[in-house]
Chains A and B, each alone.
Chain A
């Protein structure tokens, strides 16, 4: 299949991009295009205008501020994130998630911020954003707006972005001492969208879990945290029994849908299995024996 016809613009500044968005009701932002182009090629969507933001300068940087907050710009490709030493140190869950995204040829083009803006519930980055309490940085002619991850993913392929806004970056907050985490997922083939995936973040002080985030992908219309299971963990010492209980709560809480790859019951079960595996992997990294 071939793409439907569309108008194309490649602005060289954000202002020019905003102007294009203002002029066209049905405009679609394209960064790497790895989510948009299959949609076009299968004629599942037909935007009037594609705004290619790849030549706008200043969007392709990974920055770390003095407090250790790491910001990834809108044109930073997955492969750059995967290979960045800063990301590995200051946003380790992002680094751990990156290799799970498609295959190298996809990661060479696709962008981390683009994946977040696309808000596919089966993608890794939205879940990582939820787990890490990342902050989305949106810009429009009205100015700059920061949107917490928890408020950003509002539905299937739907975000809190307004029509005139462009997601220009994502900021991952500094990682406090005592933090650990993991990204685990299972896909039917290497590189496929996960049947279920989990990004885990734990804060441990004096061998007690003081904060926990369990963010799942491929279990509903958006990536989702399971606060009921997080509550089970907080205030407790890590143990196999505790993880089993968290897994039980995860399986009981999530309401995933069935598709050609898995039944709903399987996804609930697998979410529990990954909860145990993800927590165990996170804790193992802290060198705490449980």
Chain B
């Protein structure tokens, strides 16, 4: 169905095409219908159902994933637009049985209840703390305001972000100390 002879990609109505991405560190090649959203590609073609669909029109934020390190709404992208990118989903956060610090912090803080919104909050928070390792409470609330949670009233999630800052700082300090000790 794909015709790439005239430089770019052309797919007929109802057609499919092949996309290549790196998902959670693994290179994948996926054949997908071009009308499919990136979220449906992630959930159905890749079987990574940890990314959730809450509204499919770009408001609730549950489908947020990292695209080349930055948060995006995967329901507001076609899968084909992700061709050639690097994607991180909630499944890509933990290291085996060891939580990512943001997951650990949300666990410590009783961050979520039904947790349907959790994938979006986790990915948004990971990106936020990459950009701004020590956000104020106002900055946290502003950054998370694109993610809806219906259960918690948000306070436990904000506490989780604050706790994540503490955990990440502690880990960084441990590494620094270890390095200094090694150098010494």
Interface residues of A, Cβ cutoff 8 Å to B: 1-13, 16, 33-34, 37-38, 40-42, 48, 52, 54-55, 79, 102-106, 108-109, 189-191
Docked Cα-Cα span, A262 to B81, in Å, equals: 36
Docked Cα-Cα span, A10 to B80, in Å, equals: 10
Given contacts A6-B35, A7-B11, A105-B71, is CB(A37)–CB(B58) below 8 Å?
yes
Docked Cα-Cα span, A15 to B165, in Å, equals: 49
**What is the interface residue range for chain B against chain A?**
35 or more
| SS class, residues of chain B in contact with chain A | mixed
Once the chains bind, are A8 and B34 in contact (CB under 8 Å)?
yes
Once the chains bind, are A103 and B145 in contact (CB under 8 Å)?
yes
Docked Cα-Cα span, A10 to B73, in Å, equals: 21
How far, in Å, is A93 (CB) from chain B's closest CB?
Answer: 21
Q: Is B48 engaged at the interface, CB distance under 8 Å to the other chain?
A: no
Closest residue of B by beta carbon distance from A55: B8
Listed A/B pairs (22) with beta-carbon separation below 8 Å: A1-B56, A4-B35, A5-B13, A8-B10, A8-B11, A8-B15, A9-B11, A10-B9, A11-B7, A12-B7, A12-B8, A16-B6, A41-B57, A41-B58, A41-B75, A48-B13, A104-B127, A104-B143, A106-B146, A190-B141, A190-B145, A191-B146
With A7-B13, A37-B78 known, 4 other A-B pairs at CB within 8 A are A6-B34, A7-B15, A10-B8, A103-B145
Q: Is B37 engaged at the interface, CB distance under 8 Å to the other chain?
A: yes
Given contacts A4-B35, A8-B80, is CB(A104)–CB(B17) below 8 Å?
no
Interface centre among B13, B34, B58, B145, by most chain A C-beta atoms within 10 angstroms, is: B58
